[in-house]
Copies of this chain bind each other. A is one copy, B any other.
Amino acid sequence: MQIINGGVTAPQGYFATGVACGIKKDGQKDLAIVCSEDIAATAGVFTSNRVKGHSLKLTQQRVKSNGYASAIIINSGNANACVGDKGDADARDITAKAAELLDCEPDAVLVASTGVIGVPLEMDKVLRGVEEAVSSMEPEGGHDAELAIMTTDTVPKEIAAEINIQGEKVVIGGMAKGSGMIHPNMATMISVITTDANISKKLLDKALRDVCAKTFNRISVDGDTSVCDMVLIFANGLADNPGIVNEDQDYRDFYDALEKVCLFLSKKLAADGEGATKLIEVQVNGAKTPEDAYKACSSIARSPLVKTAINGCDANWGRIITAIGYSGADIDPARIDISINKVKVCRYGAAVAYDEGKVREQLEKDEILISAHLNYGDCSDRMWTCDFSEDYARINGSYRS
């Protein structure tokens, strides 16, 4: 597998662009299209929030009932959520408009929205944006699409990877936007992955679900889960690889590449959390069950106290063991070891003598690894998060203004 330039338009047969239709007040791009020249198998992973945005609901329903799609329209600046029946109608109208222009079935167009909740879309602007996007999309337009889906993101997040399956080149491209909170109500995590791989709908779905569990579902910025979070994958089969229909080596090669693409995007999302200055990886080993490993891991990754300490370069491992203690995981406090960037700071649940200067030096880096060994079993988990800075509060205190 090798990383290549580009994003969602790196695989064969994809067109994309991003335009400014006027949803964002500052004239920035706010509407993207990603389109496959051939109808593509699709799969998606959607928010677990019981409240769901209108655009997300329509897309979730279409992915579930059809499993094939030609294009997706994504707008930023407005979540199209919690606005009543108009929100459902607007989502349908956006896809109908795009379908008409693309000359395909309305069911074959998906839609995603991210931004403020509870404010109806100005549909005249959005529909003009759809027209402009369809008429200007191009095979090199992936980057513009990424720019158009960003909200509080500070950097674009794109990647493409090339693999060889039985002598044939297969490409996977992806883009994502966060950012503040990974699962914010308005920032929202949205990612679109494209591939020209020839793979069955069923295995595409399985690969996406399994990979998401290890990547997008292992990042946390502030523990809030958006009503619009989604990860979608399109596979248009234009590569010449023999169709992947079994969980064989070809599937594993595809899976590994997909995992790398999604892991890259996930870490980018965590690192670009609102106000973040550092990427934090949390590893938990030696847990009794996978559930215990997950509980301990996510408790550390969510703790505002851990995240503020890391922001202040403070090796306050007391907060880490505390987070493990209240996580609900089955543990023996007297067996817990904790390291920060490989420097052991706690052994058997108690302080060890360590060089404060050395730990501080580690904590000043951009990437921090917190590892906890529970010494209570052989299950592991890992997650990514970011530190919590004063800017987080500033950004989120005035988001709508």
Contacts and interface: CB of A to CB of B under 8 A. Distances in A.
Contacts of A87: 350
A39 B36 CA distance: 80
> At the interface, is chain A mostly helix, strand, loop or mixed?
loop
A64 B357 CA distance: 43
A375 interface: no
A213 interface: no
A399 B325 CA distance: 20
Contacts of A392: 304, 308, 393
Contacts of A200: none
Given A49-B322, A351-B118, A308 B396 contact: yes
A393 B388 contact: yes
B225 A326 contact: yes
Contact of A321 (B48, B82, B324, B349): B82
Contacts of A224: 303-305, 319, 322-323, 326
A394 B312 CA distance: 8
B322 A117 contact: yes
A49 to B, nearest CB: 4
Contacts of A304: 181, 222-224, 304, 392, 396
Contacts of A222: 303-305
Interface string A358-401: 00000000000000000000000000000011111111111111
A312 B396 contact: yes
A120 B399 CA distance: 44
A304 B302 CA distance: 11
Contact of A325 (B50, B321, B389, B394): B50
B393 A349 contact: no
A258 interface: no
Most buried by B among A83, A304, A317, A323: A304
A391 B389 CA distance: 10
A303 B317 CA distance: 24
Interface in A209-251: 222-227
A145 interface: no
B398 A185 contact: no
Interface string A55-93: 000000000000000000000000101111001000000
A393 B389 contact: yes
A118 B350 contact: yes
Contacts of A290: none
A184 interface: yes
A22 interface: no
A173 B51 CA distance: 45
Contacts of A316: 117, 185-186, 399-400
B314 A400 contact: yes
27 contacts: A50-B324, A50-B325, A50-B326, A50-B329, A51-B333, A82-B346, A82-B349, A117-B317, A117-B318, A117-B321, A118-B317, A118-B346, A185-B319, A185-B321, A222-B305, A223-B302, A223-B303, A224-B303, A224-B305, A225-B326, A226-B322, A227-B322, A308-B396, A312-B398, A314-B399, A389-B393, A390-B390
Given A82-B349, A224-B322, 8 more contacts: A50-B329, A50-B331, A82-B350, A117-B321, A118-B346, A119-B351, A224-B303, A309-B396
User: Which 5 residue pairs spanning A and B have beta carbons closest together?
Assistant: A117-B318, A312-B397, A51-B325, A185-B322, A308-B396
